Structure 1
Amino acid sequence: MSIINDINTMLTDILGPFGGVILVGFIGLIMILVTLPVLLKKQVDPLDKLKALNRAHTAKASGNGERLRAPTSKDKLEKYANFLEPQDAVAYSAARLTLLQAGYKSKNAVRTFHFSQFALGIFGLIFGGLYALLKTQTGEVSQQSMMMTLLIPGFIGYMLPKYWVTRRVAARKEAIEYGFPDSLDMMLVCVEAGQSMDQSILRVARELKSGFPDLASEFELVSQEMKAGKGKEAVLRDMAERCGVQDISSFTTVLIQSQQFGTSIADALRVYAAEMRDKRVMRAEEAANKLPTKMTLATMMLTVPPLLLILIGPSIYGITQTMGGGN
């Protein structure tokens, strides 16, 4: 018992009144970092082992002297796929769609996103622990303040990737929405010049690459999928889902209906392009009409107090002087 008291006294002298709590927290964090990869390691399927052996024998028998590639970081993350990826198909599809709308089209995007959340959360906890240790050296700290210092950086680190993806989705949708009317006008010119729809999409993608890279990448992907033999209707619906913009969803519906009913694609593009131009003008007018309302509060805060000071200030000063003279 005396040994425990001596250790507690030593920790209190070195780390402050919460020395024991800090030591236990660091020991727990180290145990999590050491044991978690072991517990979450994905078990190797015997069938995968057999396939790897067959590939090794095939590569050795081919005699071309090529070495097997070392596993990359993505392969290492694949060991923890059960932990880093949602096991529910609906949740995985929703996360995958969100990352696609943010512009991250890699097949390992969901895994990388959750790994970044986990890693930044751990780094935040470590930073919070070091800062809490520094605070205990400078003065006394309450237990509530200590817990907030430990947990807030970890929470911020965990939520930072989600905040980044959300902002990226909003910015990408806005960029696509802004450049879409110009792409329709260019597509209409190409179609009326005699090009097919596939050639028009590819030409528009090349022309828009410098000004609107997000929209150009979507058109390029559509062109590549069409060249690969995928159905045009499925390709257009996938594009609308990846973009997440209502204008593109309506555009794909117009093209699909035009193809199904055999109507002229040029006429459909001409009508829809005119509607998109009018819609962009209405968006600009809406933003301009919102501006006076947004400026009202700032105008009142900057003009009303000086005006009241000028109008009422002399009267208040005269009243105070009169009352002071009467006393």
Structure 2
Amino acid sequence: MKAMQLYQSPEGVSLHLGRVAEPTPGKAEVLIQVHAAGVTPTELDWYPTTHSKAGAKRENAIPGHEFSGTIVAFGEDVTSFTLGQSVYGMNDWFAEGATAEFCLTIPTSIAPKPATLTHAEAATIPIGALTAWQGLFDHAKLQPKQRVLIHGGAGAVGIFAVQLAHNHGAYVIATASTPTLDLVKQLGADEVIDYKTSRFQDLVHEIDVVFDTVGGETRDLSWPILKPEGRMITIAADAETSTDPRAKESFFIVEPSQTQLIEIAKLLDAGSLKTFVSAAVPLDDAAAAYAKTISQKLGYGKVVITLAD
């Protein structure tokens, strides 16, 4: 099968299209014919992308850990899915990704694809929506009527965080830049702050939850605006190595969740949650798509790699 693979050299990482053996599902695995895979450029530098959980290096790893596709085979222990079923999901970060014609996954990492969405649209959802869901509800324990500040409201995670917090009945404040202010407002933010022209720390106070997707100075300036019992959550990688114990404690990494994907699909099919595709490119051009996503600001929405129709 064709697959986009990650190569490492002293000069850095690069992506190349190659051919690898089609994987065979084990007893508890599912084989997916990939129709679309989401592009998360930062994963190219993450340790789990190129290593096993035991620490062994995985050569020529396949990136793209969120996907949408069709089940073409599964092991004898899999009983909750059927052949030909359309599903979407997120693989564990230590597993191979989905920028390939086929990928292996496990049942708890996938759920039925939202019926109202195309495969390309569905592939934009798992990582961003699961991150927003887990951050707001599992880690921050957001409650209705609480005040939440979301940094990066038009980003891949922020778009979902704004909508989920709004749907939950919270008072939503988000930071964004001029081109996306109206979008973030339309998605449910009660207040939108242009971070390029205004200092959010001068405009908001008494915040119950800060959802930080930016890190650095933005996170540092957010601590004083929290209520005494307020909670900070962050996905910014610099928090993991920060000397500030508060930053380390607030950091989390998204995990696959079938249960949450099912709930997210319900919201999408009901029209209560929206997603955006900024560009769809074929597998042959995946390397260029990653490079473009890294080097340019593409507005809002996610780039997806498309494969089967």
TM-score bracket relative to the smaller structure = under 0.3
Identify the structure with bigger relative contact order (alpha carbons < 8 Å, sequence gap 6+): 2
Larger radius of gyration: 1
Larger proportion of strand:
2
Calculate the TM-score normalised by the size of structure 1: 0.18
Calculate the TM-score normalised by the size of structure 2: 0.18
